[in-house]
Amino acid sequence: MAEVLDVISGLKTAEQSLHTFALQIKQSNLLSEQLFDIKKGLEFAKLSLDNWQHRYDIRFHRPDIYIRILFGKEGHERMTATISTINILAGSIKSDISRVRGLALKVQYRRAYYGKNQDIDSEERVNECLRKIARNNTWSRRLFLSVLGKSDDVEMRLKRLHRKLTTLERFSDLYLEKRACGHFDED
């Protein structure tokens, strides 16, 4: 179940990255609000997965046999497949957010940074590029439309992620109930 931790950390990274970018482009309220909505969706997904992990006491160091005992063989297979899909979706969302941020970097000159600017981090580079974009109306409009299109893709993937998280919770409840059905019946 190490995949669960990977998904949680990936969602957290994507959420922070998106938050920073949304703050950087705050000049466009519509776009900034949409990015903050996506950030809230990522936060919800992370909290849902955290809650699921805590509810069923899924831990990194526990062997898979724990999940097989808890949910049965079929439940284990279904949940493992669902978690793998969640992991793939989270990775796609993370890379989409990187692409959204990368749209601003397209205006960066193809020059290398020298001297003390050589170690300039990506946040400063994004800010520098956004300042250049803000000075040019055409670039500003292009960035706005490009980010808007990419954010629609991220929202679509986020909806799929939420559906998969709901599926994971329902599978967990279903297979736990099936497993425990015989143990808690009263005569």
pLDDT digits (tens, 9 = 90+) for 47-84: 999 999 999 888 877 788 888 888 889 998 998 999 99
pTM listed for this prediction: 0.80
Spatial neighbors of 79 by CB under 8 A, at least 6 apart, are 67, 71, 168, 171, 172, 175
Tell me how many domains the chain contains: 1
Residue span of the structural domain in which 107 resides: 2-111+123-184
The upper half-sphere exposure of residue 102, i.e. CA atoms within 13 Å in the direction of its Cβ, equals 7
What is d(CA 46, CA 15) in angstroms, rounded to the nearest whole number?
9
Task: Please tell me whether residue 63 adopts helix, strand or coil conformation.
Answer: coil
Residue 135 lies in a domain: yes
27 pLDDT above the threshold of 60: yes
Residue 34 lies in a domain: yes
pLDDT score recorded for residue 165:
96
Residue 173 lies in a domain: yes
pLDDT score recorded for residue 139:
84
Residue 116 lies in a domain: no
**Residue of higher predicted confidence among 171 and 106:** 171
Residue 41 lies in a domain: yes
pLDDT score recorded for residue 40:
94
CB–CB of 46/8 below 8 Å?
Answer: yes
Q: Residue 95 has which token pair? A: 């890379």
Confidence of residue 109 (pLDDT cuts 50, 70, 90): low
Residue 117 lies in a domain: no
In Å, how far are 13, 73, 147, 169 from 69, measured between CA atoms?
Answer: 33, 8, 46, 17
Residue 118 lies in a domain: no
- Helices 2-24 & 29-55, crossing angle to 10 degrees? 160
Residue 128 lies in a domain: yes
